[in-house]
Amino acid sequence: MAKKKVRSYYSLVRQRQADDTRARIAAAARQLILTKGYDAATMEAIARDAGVATPTVYAVFGSKRQILTELIDRAAFGPAYQELVGEVMEIVEPVSRLQFAARIARQIYDSERSEFDLLRKAGVVIPELAAIEREKECGRYEAQAQSISLLVRSGQLPPGLDETEARDIFWTLTGRDIYRMLVIEREWSSDRYEKWLSEAIVSSLVAKKRVRHPAAEGGRKKEKEQ
């Protein structure tokens, strides 16, 4: 038992050291890109500024594009995002959970936008950033499965809409392209985007409750009495 505790302790220490090295490399890369430009931020230069060997940078990240991905992830999925995720995991009502996705999308895209803008100004080429965006879209589709599954189990999908189509619609509505078109191209505020997105998700994915007209209800009662 004691040996297991010792191994566990050293495993935690090694993981902490690995995380620290990863963070140090990412921070050095970001500072180098912003101050000297993307081209100047070679793997060798990043290693030198991070105080590690060049092979270590390759071992941790593999390529400069993966370092860019790390920088954008650190901006988008920081403490504010983690707090929102903690809140949404406590929501069990399917429709409320879907609506909350609008807040999460707004948080991610606002943060990503700031980091993307900084990197573009530092000379990061558009194809690199576009490739990162495509990679993120695939992961987002898988991450949204649980919210749609909850809605399906609650029986609140509109008639004729199956689970796969619902996931496709949810993924499309919460996508970066719509954020870009509305917030960046059309200059909507982030608040307006979030409100619209929340309403659009419910309108598209939640079955409308049938509202019975009081007069009609009264007529049916009279028919039964006769």
Residues 15, 17, 22, CA angle at the centre, nearest 5°?
95
Average pLDDT, the chain: 87
Distance of alpha carbon 223 from alpha carbon 226, whole angstroms: 5
Mean pLDDT of 140-163: 92
In this predicted structure, the answer to whether residue 34 has a pLDDT above a threshold of 50 is yes
Q: Which long-range contacts (CB under 8 A, 24 or more apart) does 42-50 make?
A: 50/21, 50/24, 50/25
Domains of the chain in start order, with CATH, are: 2-62 (1.10.10.60), 72-205 (1.10.357)
CB 104 within 8 A of CB 81: yes
Predicted confidence band at 212 (pLDDT cuts at 50, 70, 90)?
very low
Mean pLDDT of 91-118: 92
Q: Is the dihedral of CA 55, 46, 27, 143 positive or negative?
A: negative
pTM surpassing 0.95?
Answer: no
Look at residue 224 in the predicted model and tell me its pLDDT: 47
In this predicted structure, the answer to whether residue 215 has a pLDDT above a threshold of 70 is no
In this predicted structure, the answer to whether residue 123 has a pLDDT above a threshold of 90 is no
Count CA atoms within 13 Å of residue 184 on its CB side: 14
Mean pLDDT of 123-131: 78
